[in-house]
């Protein structure tokens, strides 16, 4: 099965379901997973400069048998590289490590509002797109306020905002803002990152009941909940079984009763990752 596409606000197509590549394994392990993912129908591969694996991702994609035109590559600008000049140098480094002339989607990884450089950085990405070094541009972990400022000051709407989004943290207001402005919500950590204690998201009885009803797995229910809403998702998976199961989530539909039940899981306290207003990490150990 192949992932279906969504149409971005710049007219380009993007696979709706992709593979998250944060902190993968060795070069050989990455190559093996990418080959399995390609066989399972994945065409969107999500990396980032901070993951430290762009080179092995690029090598693995060249070895997996897919031609460049069939692969959608995302990477991200890290927090140390905000600003006009640094943004260009950062992208050039990513292109070199990935071994490509253009990335399909380039994202500002975090807004860093305390530095107040995200509008300048966004202008840099607009210029990089005009130079055709990137095909589409977007952001990650931006709030509606951040997005509104980008749009007001530059007139250019991000194609994607990659955010934490899962049944326990549904981001309904932000997702609605995205729809209003033609931005695709893309869910990182769609399975809730294992939860913050207690029952992991995929162990929720509500999800188990819906999964049993459709003869599916809880993870497939979560992914279909996202894609039915128009969102994109980039779950991480390494086994052939999980890769195939995630892709097969596109082959069934949830009904109104299912969606109402999932809505009850939402919580204002459901965030498991960093908050975009305060996250200021520049270097990881």
Q: How do residues 57-68 score in pLDDT, each as one tens digit?
A: 999 999 999 999
Q: Which of 42, 51, 106, 118 is catalytic?
A: 51
Q: Which of 19-33, 118-132, 160-174, 239-253 has the lowest mean pLDDT?
A: 19-33
In sequence order, the β-bridge partners of residue 232 are 186
- CB 271, CB 169: distance < 8 Å: yes
**What does the pLDDT read at residue 3?**
85
pLDDT category of residue 198 using cuts at 50, 70 and 90:
confident
Could you tell me the CA-to-CA distances from 202 to 16, 66, 106, 142 in Å, in that order? 21, 32, 30, 26
**What does the pLDDT read at residue 284?**
61
CA distance 119 to 145: 12
pLDDT category of residue 197 using cuts at 50, 70 and 90:
low
**What does the pLDDT read at residue 265?**
98
H or E element in which residue 242 lies? helix 240-248
**144-154 vs 172-181: helix crossing angle, rounded to 10:** 20
**What does the pLDDT read at residue 285?**
47
- Active site (annotated) includes residue 42: no
pTM exceeds 0.85 for this model: yes
Q: Which of 25-29, 60-64, 173-177 has the lowest mean pLDDT?
A: 25-29
Domains (ranges, CATH) in the chain? Answer: 5-198+226-237 (3.20.20.100)
């Amino acid at each position: 099965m192949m992932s279906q596409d969504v149409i971005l606000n710049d007219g380009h197509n993007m696979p709706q379901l992709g593979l998250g590549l944060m902190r993968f394994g060795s070069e050989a392990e990455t190559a093996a997973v990418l080959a399995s993912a390609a066989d399972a129908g994945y065409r969107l591969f999500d990396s980032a400069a901070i993951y430290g694996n762009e080179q092995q991702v690029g090598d693995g994609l060249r070895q997996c048998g897919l031609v460049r035109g069939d692969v959608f590559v995302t990477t991200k600008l890290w927090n140390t590289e905000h600003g006009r000049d640094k943004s260009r140098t950062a992208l050039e480094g990513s292109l070199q490590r990935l071994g490509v002339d253009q990335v399909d989607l380039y994202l500002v990884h975090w807004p860093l509002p305390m530095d107040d450089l995200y509008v300048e950085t966004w202008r840099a990405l607009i210029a990089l797109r005009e130079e055709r070094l990137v095909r589409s541009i977007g952001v990650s972990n931006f709030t509606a306020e951040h997005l509104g400022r980008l749009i007001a000051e530059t007139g250019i709407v991000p194609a994607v905002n990659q955010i934490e989004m899962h049944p326990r943290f549904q981001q309904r207001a932000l997702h609605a803002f995205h729809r209003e402005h033609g931005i695709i919500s893309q869910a990182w950590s769609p399975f809730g990152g294992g939860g913050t204690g207690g029952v992991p998201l995929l162990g929720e009885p509500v999800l188990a009941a819906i999964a049993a009803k459709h003869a599916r797995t809880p993870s497939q229910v979560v992914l279909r909940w996202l894609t039915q809403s128009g969102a994109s998702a980039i779950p991480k998976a390494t086994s052939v079984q999980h890769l195939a199961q995630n892709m097969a989530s596109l082959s069934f539909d949830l009904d109104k009763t299912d969606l109402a039940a999932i809505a009850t899981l939402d919580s204002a306290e459901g965030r498991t990752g960093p908050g975009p207003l305060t996250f200021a990490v520049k270097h990881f150990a």
